[in-house]
């Protein structure tokens, strides 16, 4: 996990999209637009557990796949935690020296 404020204030190069990168409907934004990300991304779609397109909205699936893309490596001091799917993944991180309080198991998340 990264804090958006940390990315904004750092020298990390990044871009983000409001949907799946291959769609012609998707728009890309540079780091200068991160301050406005809450108005550019539909978080209810990104975090939705059911996200198939339907007769009322044929664009949910594309919007769910909004991305933040970071160039190169993320400095370790900016990582505030890790979200993993299960305890097996958690144990792998722990074997790499990551402390228990930095790892959150969330099987309901989509990866």
pLDDT one-digit tens code per residue, 88-110: 999 999 999 999 999 999 998 76
Longest pairwise C-alpha distance within the chain? 48
pLDDT beneath 70: ranges in the chain: 110-111
Task: Return the CA Rg of the chain.
Answer: 16
What does the alpha-carbon distance between residue 2 and residue 10 come to, in Å, rounded to a whole number?
Answer: 12
Count of beta carbons in the 10 Å neighbourhood of residue 12? 17
φ and ψ at residue 49, rounded to 5 degrees: -85, -30
The pTM of the full predicted model, rounded to 2 decimals, is 0.81
Q: Which two tokens stand for residue 104?
A: 């959150």
């Amino acid at each position: 996990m990264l804090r958006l404020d940390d990315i904004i204030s750092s020298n990390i190069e990044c871009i983000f999209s409001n949907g799946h990168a291959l769609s012609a409907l998707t728009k890309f934004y540079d780091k200068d637009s991160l301050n406005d990300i809450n108005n550019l991304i539909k978080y209810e779609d990104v975090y939705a557990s059911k996200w198939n397109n339907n007769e009322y909205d044929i664009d949910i699936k594309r919007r769910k796949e909004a991305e933040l893309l970071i160039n190169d490596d993320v400095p370790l001091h900016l990582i505030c935690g890790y979200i993993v799917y299960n305890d097996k993944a958690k144990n792998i991180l722990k074997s790499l020296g990551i402390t228990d309080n930095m790892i959150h198991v969330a099987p309901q998340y989509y990866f």
